[in-house]
Amino acid sequence: MIIVDGQRTPLEVHNFENLEQIIEKVMADTSMQSRIVTDVLINNEAFSEIYPHQAEDMEASYIDRVEIISVHTSEMAQSITRELYKVVSLMATAGRQVADLFRQADDAQALELYSDLLEVNRDFMNMVGVLRNEFVANSAMDFDVSLGDLSSLFSEMIEIQENEDWILLADLLEYEYLPLVEKTKAIVAQLRESVKASAKKNSHG
């Protein structure tokens, strides 16, 4: 038995060799084009891949029931934009903390937090980039300028870090990075609106 989003399908498990084939067949259906699989249940137990293509190793002979749960990409994007807002707030808080720690000459603690900040920043930029390409047709200029500023500022900060000029790094964080993060909040809000509009269009479409 193969169930997709609560509906039983005419597909039968025994017609496939393994789980990967089943998922590929389900996703090839036109109704799944703009959807992302969030959960796969095998015999009522959650399945998640520990290594790539693990689904291929899950033979159909062991499976009685497959349930696939999916969401629309715009729905998924909405939850991501909600997370992004939290991330921006986190970036602002962490940026301020790092600047303070450098000024207090607590370099070890500051550097530890600073490397976390770099990572969060990188993930944030990637995610915003993906969503922007997918959902923002207009006002792309604002996005590009702010993301470009953030990107070049980080390159500058990495250079200063290599020179171990912590006070200058603290200044950059406080006077350039933090205002830029505030500006980025507006971008995330804009992104959220675009995603929301897209979700609305899809629910009517």
- Closest by alpha carbon to 7, among 26, 33, 35? 26
pTM of the model: 0.66
Q: Is the pLDDT of residue 143 over 80?
A: no
pLDDT digits (tens, 9 = 90+) for 148-177: 888 888 888 888 988 999 999 999 999 999
Q: Encoding tokens for residue 68? A: 């696939």
pLDDT digits (tens, 9 = 90+) for 46-65: 998 888 889 999 999 999 99
Q: Which tokens go with 121? A: 């920043």
